[in-house]
Structure formats: structure tokens, C-alpha cells
Amino acid sequence: MNARDFHELVSGRRAGVGAAVTRVGLRLAETPYALAMRLRNVAFDRGWRPTLHVPVPVVSVGNITTGGTGKTPMVAWLASWFRERAVRVAIVSRGYGAQHGHLNDEGIELEQMLPDVPHVQQPDRVAGALMAIEEFTSQLILLDDGFQHRRLARDFDLVLIDALEPFGYGHVLPRGLLRESLAGLGRAQAIALSRADLVDATTRDRIRATVRRNAPDAIWFEAAHRPAELLNSLGESVPLTALATGRWGGFCGIGNPEGFRRTLEGCDCQLAAWRTFPDHHAYAREDVESLAQWVRQERLTGLVCTRKDLVKLSTDRLGDAPLWAVQIGLELTHGGELLEERLSPIANAALQIHTDDD
């Protein structure tokens, strides 16, 4: 089952006896998974399982749900914020889907966006953090997708919630999209509502009220993903206004394809055709040929995807159509000053750390 079909099923949008029976089965499987996550969290909370500290501050960015919530733009924003204050930052992530010795798609995207910020991908995040400190003399670790990774102690936990799908349809995996119960939000020091501009004020207030019940002490801020320009694999760029003419085909292989589609619609993109692939999809030759055939069938004048897809395809054309990616920037639209107030002491503490390069 692909991601789109799974979302249709667990959201309840897919009707029929078969879908209803499947949801019952998933609900039965949800109980042991949710219990296992609860027991695991209790073990860390009570010290039965050890939490390991590294000698520099650690800031974690994570989710309460599966799928895309906009972590990459948030990690890039944080890395840039700390770098502007002369803090030597390294990003540490598990490296899901990465081949040995190579960064995965998100790592390559961040490397292109942040050429002066090293990125260590290591399934053992503690070992990855120590490696970043030793090899890159890092003064601060940004832990990417780290909220459920409890083994590495952190100084600040930031959790992103997608305004379009905030609470995983109210169920923990596999019945819904929650990685753990909403009570887990109580561990966070900051909650960010991503894509906040794509929902109305009433919806934002309703989401915030639910968050407040589970994380009353966390600061709240809102962010919008602002498209800036179109980029291709050659490093060339064109204005977003190019999307307003012709027949464009949009596609992506990310956790939340609907968010990207809404972004294109907000750019007045003349979207004549649309395709989705699974999250972290590794594009094969057959996919390239299929997309080229799609261009011919739909008589498309151009293709547009995410940067995450572009770094994996590494081409500026598919068939007869140019291939462009939307460059996304993060803008804090509400509560940004609260976030910066919390981050400033962490930056100051990092700057007090002396390394062999000092």
C-alpha cells in the first residue's frame, strides 16, 4: 500500500466494508504498539534506560507524526541562526535510506543549502554526535528527526506539527500517523505549527488548544513555507512566475505530497498533471522513462518537483521538458521572538566551549 492509499484508509475517507474491516485490524495492532512506546518513554523518564550526554549543547527537531512536517527548512533555519552567531554547528541524523558512505536525499539537500555546516548520518546518534564534535570541532549539535530518539540527551526539543494533518487522524501507528500518543508533546520545549498559512485562524486556534492540553509549558510559534524561486540541477534559477504559463506537471516523493501541491497552487502554477511517489523514493531508470512518457502524453511544457526529488534525479530535463524544483524558505509568522529568546542562552553556552581549533 502506498502512502496515498494508506492516508485515505486511516483518515476514514476510503469507504466500504473492506476498508472498515482493515481499519478494525489496524486498531487492534495499534494497542500493542502504543503500549510499547509508552513503556519505552517511562523507562527513559525514570532512568531505567540511560540517557547519554555529549559535551556540547544538543537541539533536537522532530515530529509527533510520521510523514513530512517541514523539518528540513526548520533545521536549515536553525543552523543558519546559530551560524550567524558564530556557533560551529553540525547536523546529526540517522540517515534513513542512505547508501553506505553517502548522504541521503535530505542530507544532500541540506549540504547544498548549508555548505559550511557538516552533516553526520549515523544510525547511532550518540556516536554521530561525538564524531561531529571530534572531527569538526562542533560547538552545537542539531539532531534531525530526534524527538523519539531518547538515548542522546538534548538541551532543547522542538516539535513540528503540520497544520494540514496535525494529529495523525487521532491514532497511533498503524491505525493512524502518530508515532506516540499526544502526551509525548509534554517533553517538548517548543511546538511549531508548520504551513500555518495554509489554514485559517480558527483551525490554528483549535490545533493550539489541543497542544496546550498536552504541552502547557512549551512555547508556541507558527511558520510558513515560502517558495522563493525555481532551481535546476545546473544551479540555474528562474522566477516563480514561470509556473503561471504553459502546462506543468508536478510530482514528488515526500511524506506530505498534499503540502507540496498546495504550495504549487499558491504559486499560481498551471498544474495540468500530478503524480506522487513514496517518501524517500529512489528514482530508478524506469521512473525516469515513465516521467518522460508522461511528459509526452500530457503535452507538458515543464516539470516541477521538490529539491529533495531533484537531488536524486540529478538532471535538468525529463524527456522534452525542463525539470525545476521549488526553493522553499521558512518564515516565522508568529512567536518567533519567543523562540529566539529560548535559543539565545543555548548559543551563548555553545560559544563558551573551547576546542582544539580555538
| Whether residue 26 sits in one domain with residue 41 | yes
Residue 103: predicted pLDDT? 75
User: What local confidence, expressed as pLDDT, does residue 336 receive?
Assistant: 96
Structure confidence at residue 100 (pLDDT): 60
pLDDT of 23: 96
Farthest CA pair distance, the chain = 66
Which structural domain range is residue 16 located in? 3-45
Q: 53 in a domain, yes or no?
A: no
81 and 155 in a single domain? The answer is yes
Q: What is the CATH number of the domain that holds 86?
A: 3.40.50.300
Per-residue pLDDT of the chain (358 residues; tens, 9 = 90+): 667 788 889 999 999 999 999 999 999 999 999 999 999 999 999 999 999 999 999 999 999 999 778 888 999 999 999 999 999 999 999 877 656 666 777 788 888 889 999 999 999 999 999 999 999 999 999 999 999 999 999 999 999 999 999 999 999 999 999 999 999 999 999 999 999 998 999 999 999 999 999 999 999 999 998 899 999 999 899 999 999 999 999 999 987 888 889 889 989 999 999 999 988 888 999 999 999 999 999 999 999 999 989 998 989 999 999 999 999 889 999 999 999 999 999 999 999 987 555 5
| Domain assignment present for 12 | yes
**Whether residues 269 and 284 fall in one domain:** yes
d(CA 129, CA 98): 18
> Is residue 206 domain-shared with residue 123, that is, in the same domain?
yes
CATH code of 302's domain: 3.40.50
pLDDT at residue 96, as a whole number: 72
Q: Pairing state of beta strands 271-276 and 302-306?
A: unpaired
The count of structural domains within the chain is 3
Is 255 part of a structural domain of the chain?
yes
What is d(CA 246, CA 106) in angstroms, rounded to the nearest whole number?
A: 30
Predicted local confidence at residue 110, as pLDDT: 87
Check residue 142 and give its pLDDT.
Answer: 98
- Sign of the dihedral defined by the CA atoms of residues 80, 343, 96, 249, in that order: negative
> Alpha-carbon distance 141 to 90, whole Å?
5
Q: Indicate if 92 and 155 belong to the same structural domain.
A: yes
246 Cβ neighbours under 8 A, 6+ residues apart: 270, 300, 301, 302
Does 50 fall in a domain? Answer: no
Whether 202 is covered by a domain: the verdict is yes
191 and 312 in a single domain? The answer is no
- Which amino acid makes up residue 357? D
Q: Rounded to two decimals, what is the model's pTM?
A: 0.87
Residue 221: predicted pLDDT = 97
Residue corresponding to grid cell 507540496: 260
**Within this chain, do residues 278 and 178 fall inside the same structural domain, yes or no?**
no
Q: Is there a single domain that holds both residue 220 and residue 251?
A: no
Cα 133 to its chain centre, rounded Å, is 24
Asked if residue 281 and residue 154 are part of one domain, the reply reads no
Query: Does residue 95 contact residue 146 with C-beta atoms inside 8 Å?
Result: no
Residue 75: the pLDDT is 95
One domain for residues 196 and 341: yes
In whole angstroms, give the CA distance from residue 202 to residue 205. Answer: 5
Same domain, 196 and 292: no
Considering the domain architecture, whether residues 195 and 255 belong to the same structural domain is answered as no
